[in-house]
């Protein structure tokens, strides 16, 4: 299925969870937050939250900022 992850298209296996996707993208999930279709998905819900075709996922972390 097709996702949009941080603004870019990404083909992934079906039934991928948010936790799976995060571990594909970052080595350590510390300091990472996720939103799916504009809604916050709390860390505790990552394993159970299965992604759907067409989902827009934001995977965010700390960056330099004032």
Partner 1 sequence: MSFELGGQTFTSRLILGTGGAANLHVLEQAIRASGTELVTVALRRVGTAPGSTGGLLELLDRCGVRLLPNTAGCHTATEAVKVARLARDAFDTDWIKLEVIGDERTLLPDGVELLRAAEELVADGFTVLPYTSDDPVLARRLADVGCAAVMPAGSPIGSGLGVGNPHHIRLIRQGVDVPVILDAGIGTASDAALAMELGCDGVLLASAVTRAADPVAMATAMRYAVEAGRLAAGAGRIARRFHALASTPDAGRPEL
Residues lying near partner 1 in the complex (CB under 8 A) are found at: 6-7, 25-27, 30-35, 38-40, 42-43, 58-66
Q: Which is nearer to partner 1, 14 or 44 (CB)?
A: 44
Nearest to 10 by CA among 19, 21, 26: 21
Between 14 and 40, CB nearer to partner 1: 40
Whole-angstrom distance, CA of residue 13 vs CA of residue 43: 21
Structure tokens belonging to residue 14: 């079906």
- The least CB distance from residue 7 to partner 1, in Å, is 7
Nearer to partner 1, 1 or 35 (CB): 35
CA distance 39 to 11: 21
């Amino acid at each position: 299925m097709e996702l949009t992850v941080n603004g870019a298209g990404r083909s992934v296996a079906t039934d991928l969870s948010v936790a799976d996707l995060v571990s594909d993208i970052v080595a350590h999930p510390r300091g990472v937050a996720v939103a799916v279709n504009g809604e916050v998905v709390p860390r505790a819900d990552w394993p159970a939250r299965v992604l759907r075709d067409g989902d827009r996922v934001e995977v965010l972390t700390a960056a330099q900022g004032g």
